Chain A
Amino acid sequence: MSELTLTVMRLGFLAVLWLFVIVAIQVIRSDLFGTKVNPRPSRRGASATAAGGAPTQAAGRPAPAPAATPAAAPTQPGGGRRRGGPTQLVVVQGSLAGTTVALQGQTITLGRAHDSTIVLDDDYASSRHARIYPDQTGQWTVEDLGSTNGTYLDRQRLTAPTPLQPGMPIRIGRTVIELRK
């Protein structure tokens, strides 16, 4: 083998090795810039679609399908009603911050009990603290399940099942949860 070939091969191999590393880092880029910015619907006249939830329709979608939804979906005029309802529940504060649960028409239970949908690791949470569920009209509702320290919606302690709007903070101990589109 000529010296030149060997040198080219040596540098070429290093280049390809680094290419792998760079491709791998590209793949995890979503972790580094892992947030998306959503326009608030209420100031854009889209509020008409915000309230009327059609989450039960969303339940019919297969799980991987959301990947195909473009970011700008909420602002698209032709988006239709089913884009208006909240599609996920996000923990925005507390030890579980960043956890999301897709809303697919199922009841979501919150508490320290380990069979809860969201297991709250929070000293101020009861074992069965609250639940979030769609009522008969499909409107997402939050209900306190007789917790010790209470469930707060916008600083108001819940006493009865209360309808939820996207973006309203639900506070349980140190954990804050929101519905998101």
Chain B
Amino acid sequence: MSSYDLSEDTGRSGRRRATAGRVVPRRRDNTTISPQEAPNRRNTELALLLFAVLLPVLAYANVGLAMDSKLPAGMLGYGLGMGALALVAHLLVRRFAPYADPLMLPIATLLNGLGVVMIWRLDKAGKLLSGNFPAAQNQLMWSGLGIAGFIAVMVFLKDHRVLQRYTYISMVVALVLLAAPAFFPARAEDFGAKIWIRVGSFSIQPGEFAKIILTVFFAGYLMVKRDALALASRRFMGLYLPRGRDLGPIVVIWLLSLLILIFENDLGTSFLFFGLFVVMLYVATERTSWILFGLLMSVGGAVLVASTASHVKIRINAWLDPMAAFAPKPPPGATEQIGQSLMALGSGGVTGSGLGQGRSWLINFAAKSDFILGSFGEELGLTGMMAIFLLYGLLIQRGLRTAIAARDPFGKLFAVGLASAMALQVFVVAGGVTGLIPLTGMTMPFLAQGGSSVVANWALVAILLKISDSARRPGVEPTPATEGPGGPAR
């Protein structure tokens, strides 16, 4: 059985010599190679989680010392609060998903904590030009709600395969969620994007939740249809051309994402959904031609929308020439945001200005939300940005690894979908902030200010942890089917 565990788990450091990477077989024909079975890694998770709570506390102290020359008053309370939330989450993982991946919870906690500290730091910068209402408290409350959602998923989602039964219901729910904001009155401060549902002073962004629910639909649908999509095709110039009726769903999703783009002016969400579908289609069918079709259709859609919708045209112009807004005679509709964030990243340099010592308030109103990466880039520099991107990369990698390890096809597709949704979102936001692709109004998962985003991403991580628990669980687990588990067939 598995011998390969890091010594963090057992505390027996002498065992490390037996680890697989260092054993070189002298006679190859005399050996067999077997994969390691994943042990229960909860103690590793606890240690990393402690680290992940202490790091934001350190950042908090850092900001306080730099800005006020004293330790911030709420430091202990903040650390204890965050630690208590993380501990509760950890204990529930211990109870309900004992074999789950040890990295996802600590990384999510760390990113969330860093985000809260940065938002608090921007709150303190009184020079933020407009709309500088304190947001850190709010974000902290949403983080608490997010962890509550995490706990709810942990407790109530016994088996991710149950979600498979709700394939078409989740499609309807996702469409309703996506369409809902179009029926709410637009407000001036939303800058043309209609992605919020408002009830009183309370607003949610249903697109963030639709992301998870739509993934359920894609996974359930593709699991059933993938043979038809993969095999029934004609070969033409080395490519498998799908049949018209199999092409149907991808065209429908494409049109849908274009409609979102046109009616709600939400470039990011439509890109996310279309990209997610293409990724999952590719994973389900292993046909490269789907990627080609997806790319062609997204380019076609982008050109179509860019040439008609003025909102998108402005975004693209701002991307092509980010500094145009600073010209003596700026072109109409030019925004300075991308230029500002590029300057912030540039002034950060390699090691940054230090937490609390940058001038991030110069990125106006979106410094805490869409452009929080610019603030991080300025204060932590390239070194810190790389660490943050690596953290996202690790989180996504753990999701994809979960998909590889998952035993059931639905779980595989679901995990791939959730991980690539996060990957696409990180790419879209980071690409927009750094000027690689046109800017879209999306939130950086966990880091950026935004209640719906935090809650949805915590739920996403909880589902991934559940899948990873069932994938890494040694031995046989009973299936939710009606017959007795593991009994003799027939």
Q: Is B65 an interface residue (CB 8 A)?
A: yes
Contact A14 B489 (CB under 8 A): no
Instruction: For B5, list chain A residues within 8 Å (CB).
Output: 30, 67
Q: Is A16 an interface residue (CB 8 A)?
A: yes
Q: Which of B20-59 contact A (CB under 8 A)?
A: 20-21, 23, 25, 30-41, 44, 48, 51-52, 55, 58-59
Interface residues in B, total, Cβ within 8 A: 80
Contact A35 B33 (CB under 8 A): yes
Q: Is A157 an interface residue (CB 8 A)?
A: no
Q: Which of A14, A40, A104 contacts B31 (CB 8 A)?
A: A40
User: Which stretch in A46-54, A106-114, A148-156 binds the other chain?
Assistant: A106-114
Q: Is A158 an interface residue (CB 8 A)?
A: no
Interface centre among A35, A40, A98, A99 (most CB of B within 10 A): A35
Contact B34 A67 (CB under 8 A): no
Q: Which of A93-111 contact B (CB under 8 A)?
A: 96, 98-102, 104, 106-109, 111
Answer whether A102 and B62 are a contact pair too, CB < 8 Å, given A29-B21, A107-B486, A116-B489: no
Instruction: For A6, list chain B residues within 8 Å (CB).
Output: 65-66, 354, 357
Q: How far is the CA of A29 from the CA of B22 in the complex (A)?
A: 12
Instruction: For B321, list chain A residues within 8 Å (CB).
Output: none
Q: Which of A56-86 contact B (CB under 8 A)?
A: 63-64, 66-73
- B384-418 interface bits toward A, Cβ cutoff 8 Å, 1 = contact, 0 = none: 10010011001001100100110111000000000
Instruction: For A29, list chain B residues within 8 Å (CB).
Output: 6, 21
Q: Is A160 an interface residue (CB 8 A)?
A: no
Q: Chain A: which residue is nearest B388 at the CB level?
A: A17
Contact B409 A13 (CB under 8 A): no
Q: Chain B: which residue is nearest A96 at the CB level?
A: B407
Answer whether A109 and B35 are a contact pair too, CB < 8 Å, given A17-B387, A20-B52, A67-B2: no
Contact A30 B476 (CB under 8 A): no
Q: How far is the CA of A133 from the CA of B3 in the complex (A)?
A: 25
Answer whether A66 and B35 are a contact pair too, CB < 8 Å, given A36-B20, A109-B486: no
User: Which stretch in B100-108, B169-177, B256-264 binds the other chain?
Assistant: B100-108
Contact A131 B66 (CB under 8 A): no
Q: Which of B457-490 contact A (CB under 8 A)?
A: 474-476, 479, 481-483, 485-490
Answer whether A28 and B103 are a contact pair too, CB < 8 Å, given A23-B48, A36-B3, A101-B475: yes
Number of A-B contacts (CB under 8 A): 219
Instruction: For A128, list chain B residues within 8 Å (CB).
Output: 489-490
Q: Chain A: which residue is nearest B356 at the CB level?
A: A6
- A27-40 interface bits toward B, Cβ cutoff 8 Å, 1 = contact, 0 = none: 11111111111111
Q: Is B355 an interface residue (CB 8 A)?
A: yes
Contact A102 B476 (CB under 8 A): yes
Contact A43 B3 (CB under 8 A): no
Answer whether A27 and B48 are a contact pair too, CB < 8 Å, given A40-B30, A133-B488: yes
Q: Chain B: which residue is nearest A31 at the CB level?
A: B401
Instruction: For B3, list chain A residues within 8 Å (CB).
Output: 36, 67, 69-71, 73
Q: Is A167 an interface residue (CB 8 A)?
A: yes
Say how far A99's CB is from chain B's closest CB, in angstroms.
Answer: 6
Contact B409 A27 (CB under 8 A): no
Instruction: For B41, list chain A residues within 8 Å (CB).
Output: 27
Contact B18 A72 (CB under 8 A): yes
Q: How far is the CA of A88 from the CA of B8 in the complex (A)?
A: 25
Instruction: For B475, list chain A residues within 8 Å (CB).
Output: 63, 101-102, 104
Q: Is A11 an interface residue (CB 8 A)?
A: yes
Say how far A41's CB is from chain B's closest CB, in angstroms.
Answer: 9
Answer whether A14 and B381 are a contact pair too, CB < 8 Å, given A1-B65, A7-B354: yes
Interface centre among A7, A23, A119 (most CB of B within 10 A): A23
Q: How far is the CA of A111 from the CA of B398 in the complex (A)?
A: 29
Say how far A81's CB is from chain B's closest CB, in angstroms.
Answer: 16
Q: How far is the CA of A24 from the CA of B394 in the complex (A)?
A: 8
Q: Chain B: which residue is nearest A13 at the CB level?
A: B62
Q: Chain B: which residue is nearest A19 at the CB level?
A: B51
Say how far B200's CB is from chain A's closest CB, in angstroms.
Answer: 39
Answer whether A10 and B20 are a contact pair too, CB < 8 Å, given A35-B35, A71-B3, A96-B407: no
Contact B4 A71 (CB under 8 A): yes
Q: Is B288 an interface residue (CB 8 A)?
A: no
Q: Is B383 an interface residue (CB 8 A)?
A: yes
Q: Is A5 an interface residue (CB 8 A)?
A: yes
Contact B34 A36 (CB under 8 A): yes
Q: Which of A35, A106, A111 contacts B476 (CB 8 A)?
A: A106
Contact B391 A21 (CB under 8 A): yes
Q: Is B15 an interface residue (CB 8 A)?
A: yes
Given contacts A30-B6, A102-B1, A180-B32, 8 further A-B contacts (CB under 8 A): A9-B66, A14-B352, A17-B384, A36-B36, A69-B3, A70-B3, A71-B19, A114-B408
A-B complex: 5 closest residue pairs judged by Cβ atoms: A66-B1, A33-B21, A10-B354, A115-B481, A128-B489
Would you list 22 pairs from A and B whose C-beta atoms are within 8 A, ordered by A residue? Answer: A1-B66, A6-B357, A10-B357, A17-B380, A20-B48, A20-B51, A30-B38, A32-B21, A33-B19, A36-B3, A36-B20, A38-B32, A39-B31, A40-B31, A64-B40, A67-B3, A67-B10, A100-B34, A100-B37, A109-B486, A109-B489, A114-B479
